[in-house]
A and B are shown apart, each in its own frame.
Chain A
Amino acid sequence: MIKTDFILDAKGMACPMPIVKTRKIMKGLEPGNVLEVQATDRGSTADIKAWAESSGHYYLGTTEDAEVLTHYLRKSSEEERVEKKHPHVVSNEQLQAFLDGTPDALVLDVREFAEYAFGHIPGAKSMPLGELEEAFGDLDKETEMYIICRTGNRSDTASRKLTEAGFSKVKNVVPGMSEWNGPMEKVVQ
């Protein structure tokens, strides 16, 4: 079960209605929100993907269960323009090299769970930014931790929050999963 901010039931609808409805719902969502679209029109996968690309939203992936296709989308946000402030930064390549020698290193993936579900670094823990503070108690303050998101901005916010809370070895991974070339795992098949 992937947690989302809104579920659109477009089952039984024929093209163009799944996209028309998706577009309408998306307009009302907050930036960064995740939308789940349930559809039975087989053509909806290619169209949702192409529409997301054309409109600047992120297509996360699709799962298939019997007749129903479930598409996951994340609404675009302004995050790309934010200046990164956390001082300790590592590149994707540095993290990959480190993981090669230390496979059990702590990697916190602060994207939404739906994003994590369709592709994350093997062994990374899912900890969506919005739920991060609840998890402070479960983490050791002296452990080295690598914080990753899609482009390095949410992870920047998360890194600063962790540092303020007394975690001392926090590194932000930049740019993050949008350009990750290393191995990946999925939660969904």
Chain B
Amino acid sequence: MIVQPMTVSTITKKVVNKEPFFILDVRNEDAFADWKIEGENIQYLNIPYFDLLDGVEEILGRLPVDQDIVVVCAKEGSSIMVAEMIAEEGRAVHYLQGGMKAWSEHLEPVKIGDLRNGGELYQFVRIGKGCLSYMIISDGEAVILDATRMTDVFLDFADKLNVKITHSIDTHLHADHISGGRKIAEATGGTYWLPPKDAGEVTFAYEALEEGRDIRVGNTKIEIQPLYSPGHTIGSTSFIVDDTYLLSGDILFIESIGRPDLAGLAEDWVGDLRESLYKRYKELSEELIVLPAHFMIVDELNVDGSVSEKLGTLFAENRGLNIEDETEFREMVTGNLPPQPNAYQQIRETNMGKVTPDEESQREMEIGPNRCAVR
């Protein structure tokens, strides 16, 4: 049997289509428990590669014969070794090309919809880490929101559509992933926008993202209206796009809400979070389609692989929007905080421009899930 690589793109499609398949994850048990490829119909076996060095005979009986088997490790080396051992026993097997590193970095563009006057809105789903970026295009120009550090994906996509990136925006100073926003602005000659209240310590020039300073894309009437919505960070800003979409940043997700503690001020910011969600958002049209900056679980993916929901539906169904009592809300948000994302302080400092780690270190810093929400 020959070992076949399987790309992250193929796995993404399997996850979105809810196809059953089998993952033999050969990373160590802590790494597997912390973060793995998630999917509704995936079966798992986690045996560290170093426990298989003497052979795979003992686990052959635990591998299914009627499903694709994908061996997964951190960077692919160990998964190739284990997959080859399994293939030598006469079994068909794949390994994940590029490993969890590639899984963490893969972006899948999904078209959300057409805008008035011929514009388009795309969502970039970082399936392995749950980050969502956006590109709004109109009339030969593009605006990018919450870009990840894999900037080539956005630049290539803009090239392919033959549009020029004129603005790059971060809804807030991210703590879970390294922003590509500034790099994209530098590469394209565009403007980089950041909320000034999150930018107190940044080491670079930026345009202040403030309510009232609408941003236009192309010559058409597509408006990107900033809406100050603190709570996840003190500067957190949402956007209403084309009167149809609400880009909610890390304030509101599909099945959860933003956590207020990643910049260290949970107690102070929980009041802002409540105000943003229960007052500011409540005043908006329920018909707006919410497009968050993250998802936490694959259940939040729609059938086309996108992540979105009507604001009215979220007000009806998202538990974080349905806690009447303020004290209870406060307790739910601050008493229930999940572990912080890996290296979140270093990531914040990188996004402030205070440190510039090399690419390999940036990868290591981003390992793991995003953990930006409380449920």
Would you call A50 an interface residue if the criterion is a C-beta within 8 Å of the partner chain's C-beta atoms? yes
Would you call B252 an interface residue if the criterion is a C-beta within 8 Å of the partner chain's C-beta atoms? no
A42 touches B77 (CB 8 A): no
Would you call A19 an interface residue if the criterion is a C-beta within 8 Å of the partner chain's C-beta atoms? yes
Q: A47: which B residues are within 8 A, CB to CB?
A: 28, 48, 50
On whether A16 and B31 interact (CB within 8 A), knowing A42-B364, A50-B48, the answer reads no
A50 touches B50 (CB 8 A): yes
Would you call B74 an interface residue if the criterion is a C-beta within 8 Å of the partner chain's C-beta atoms? yes
Partner of A15, one of B30, B51, B53, B73: B73
B50 touches A14 (CB 8 A): no
> Separation in Å of the A22 CB from the closest CB of chain B?
9
Q: B73: which A residues are within 8 A, CB to CB?
A: 15
> Separation in Å of the A11 CB from the closest CB of chain B?
15
Contact with B along A1-44 (1 / 0, CB 8 A): 00000000000001111011001000000000000000000110
On whether A54 and B77 interact (CB within 8 A), knowing A46-B30, A46-B31, A47-B28, the answer reads no
**C-alpha gap A158/B75 in the complex (Å):** 46
Would you call A51 an interface residue if the criterion is a C-beta within 8 Å of the partner chain's C-beta atoms? yes
Would you call B29 an interface residue if the criterion is a C-beta within 8 Å of the partner chain's C-beta atoms? yes
Would you call B245 an interface residue if the criterion is a C-beta within 8 Å of the partner chain's C-beta atoms? no
**C-alpha gap A23/B49 in the complex (Å):** 12
Partner of B360, one of A15, A42, A50: A42
A54 touches B75 (CB 8 A): no
Would you call B123 an interface residue if the criterion is a C-beta within 8 Å of the partner chain's C-beta atoms? no
B78 touches A54 (CB 8 A): no
B48 touches A20 (CB 8 A): no
Contact with A along B152-177 (1 / 0, CB 8 A): 00000000000000000000000000
B74 touches A54 (CB 8 A): no
Interface of A is mostly: helix
Q: A20: which B residues are within 8 A, CB to CB?
A: 53
Q: B297: which A residues are within 8 A, CB to CB?
A: none
Q: B78: which A residues are within 8 A, CB to CB?
A: 15-16
Q: B360: which A residues are within 8 A, CB to CB?
A: 42
> Separation in Å of the A152 CB from the closest CB of chain B?
30
B74 touches A43 (CB 8 A): yes
Q: B51: which A residues are within 8 A, CB to CB?
A: 54
B74 touches A50 (CB 8 A): no
> Separation in Å of the A8 CB from the closest CB of chain B?
15
> Separation in Å of the B101 CB from the closest CB of chain A?
10
Would you call B81 an interface residue if the criterion is a C-beta within 8 Å of the partner chain's C-beta atoms? yes
Contact with A along B44-77 (1 / 0, CB 8 A): 0000111101000000000000000000011101
Contact with A along B352-368 (1 / 0, CB 8 A): 00000000100010000
**C-alpha gap A16/B78 in the complex (Å):** 5
Contact with A along B19-30 (1 / 0, CB 8 A): 000000000111
> Separation in Å of the A55 CB from the closest CB of chain B?
8
Given A16-B81, A51-B48, 13 further pairs, Cβ under 8 A: A15-B73, A16-B50, A16-B78, A19-B49, A20-B53, A46-B30, A47-B48, A47-B50, A50-B48, A50-B50, A51-B28, A54-B48, A55-B50
Return 9 A-B CB contacts under 8 Å, by A number.
A14-B75, A15-B49, A15-B74, A15-B75, A15-B78, A16-B53, A43-B74, A51-B28, A51-B50
